[in-house]
Chains A and B, each alone.
Chain A
Amino acid sequence: MILINDMVSNTPYQPGRTARIFDLSLRIVTVALVVITTIGAFVIAISLAGRGGSYSVPSWLDGAYRVEFDDGRAIAITDGTANTYENFEIGRERDTLTGTVALRAMVEVSRDDRDSRAVVGVIVIAALAATWLAVLSLRAVVASVIAGEPFALANATRLRRLAIAILAVPVIQFVGQQALQRTFDPDLPFVPEIGIGVPSWLMLIVGLGVLALAEPFSEAARLREFEQATI
């Protein structure tokens, strides 16, 4: 009797502890995301209905808007608009050429108009959509790893979705910033700070890295399919 040795081990795949911990973490994140989405939807609905009162956007007072001051303690900004400014965190910058001291301040810009609320609502919805896309894609990838099927063609697609979600963050940040800035007084150089604390260049690198990772997964899935049809 001739026997052919199996080239592939028949031992069932046992998911590692790391994969299980990661899966559990993602489940917790999903639950948190459900809560955040529910609260976010509620707040946006109330805000767009015009019953939410004013909100504050941390913004940098930057660029050409310079306030010279002499004692360095009390700063008054009067721009003749309806904007109100609170919670100053003032940094002084001395122009080494002219010797003048310029103001660079972190300001809470309070707004109470429907346009700004709509813009903030769209930013929040876009950010939540990107987060959901990232979390659901990642969960599906981890689930396939636990199931012992990491090199499936679907995972390449999921990784591409994850990359799109990551790359969308700096785009949402930039577009949202521009849109929000336009709802402020266009003559004032306030730059809204709506980032998530991670630099845009880092998000771009991570996003492109995940996008690149999708290609080997796609190729591995193709090879695996070929291997399965090999007698």
Chain B
Amino acid sequence: MPIRVHLDDLLAEKNMTLTQLSETVGITMANLSILKTGKAKAIRFTTLEAICQAIDCQPGDLLHYRRE
């Protein structure tokens, strides 16, 4: 998939763990793992909004398009 999710980088930048993010935004660890590993097929605006709010970033910081 040409869309890359940079959740790991952002979490490291903010000194936050996946567990903390999970507790903050109310998304299960399983779903966050799917998102982190790039296995997600779609992301809801509500999820994107919650993650961006929790780690204080822009959607563009989280998602990157790379031509394959």
Of the candidates B41, B46, B54, which one forms a contact with A226 in the assembled complex, judged by CB atoms under 8 Å apart? B41
Number of interface residues of A (CB under 8 A): 9
| A2 with B47: CB separation less than 8 A | no
B12 within 8 A of A: no
- Residues on B with beta carbons closer than 8 Å to the beta carbon of A231: 27, 31-32, 34-35, 40, 42-44, 47
Chain A, 141-156, contact with B by CB distance < 8 Å: what is the 0/1 string?
0000000000000000
- Cross-chain pair count, CB within 8 angstroms: 41
A1 to B26, CA, bound (A): 8
| A2 with B26: CB separation less than 8 A | yes
B interface bracket (residues with beta carbon within 8 Å of A): 20 to 34
**CB nearest to B42 among chain A residues:** A230
Among A1, A230, A231, the one with the most B-chain Cβ atoms within 10 Å of its Cβ is A231
| A4 with B26: CB separation less than 8 A | yes
User: A226 and B42 in contact (CB under 8 A), knowing A231-B31, A231-B34?
Assistant: yes
B39 within 8 A of A: yes
User: A229 and B50 in contact (CB under 8 A), knowing A1-B24, A4-B26, A4-B27?
Assistant: no
The smallest beta-carbon distance between A142 and chain B, in angstroms, is 30
Of the candidates B24, B34, B35, B40, which one forms a contact with A2 in the assembled complex, judged by CB atoms under 8 Å apart? B24
- Residues on B with beta carbons closer than 8 Å to the beta carbon of A4: 25-27, 44, 46-47, 50
**CB nearest to A3 among chain B residues:** B26
Interface residues of B in 14-64 (CB under 8 A from A): 23-27, 31-32, 34-35, 39-44, 46-47, 50, 53-54
The smallest beta-carbon distance between B43 and chain A, in angstroms, is 5
| B43 with A2: CB separation less than 8 A | no
Of the candidates A2, A3, A7, A229, which one forms a contact with B39 in the assembled complex, judged by CB atoms under 8 Å apart? A229
A7 to B50, CA, bound (A): 15
A231 to B42, CA, bound (A): 6
B positions within 8 Å CB-CB of A: 23-27, 31-32, 34-35, 39-44, 46-47, 50, 53-54
A positions within 8 Å CB-CB of B: 1-4, 7, 226, 229-231
24 contacts between A and B (CB under 8 A): A1-B24, A1-B26, A2-B26, A2-B50, A3-B25, A3-B26, A4-B27, A4-B46, A4-B47, A4-B50, A226-B41, A226-B42, A229-B40, A230-B40, A230-B41, A230-B42, A231-B27, A231-B31, A231-B34, A231-B35, A231-B40, A231-B42, A231-B43, A231-B47
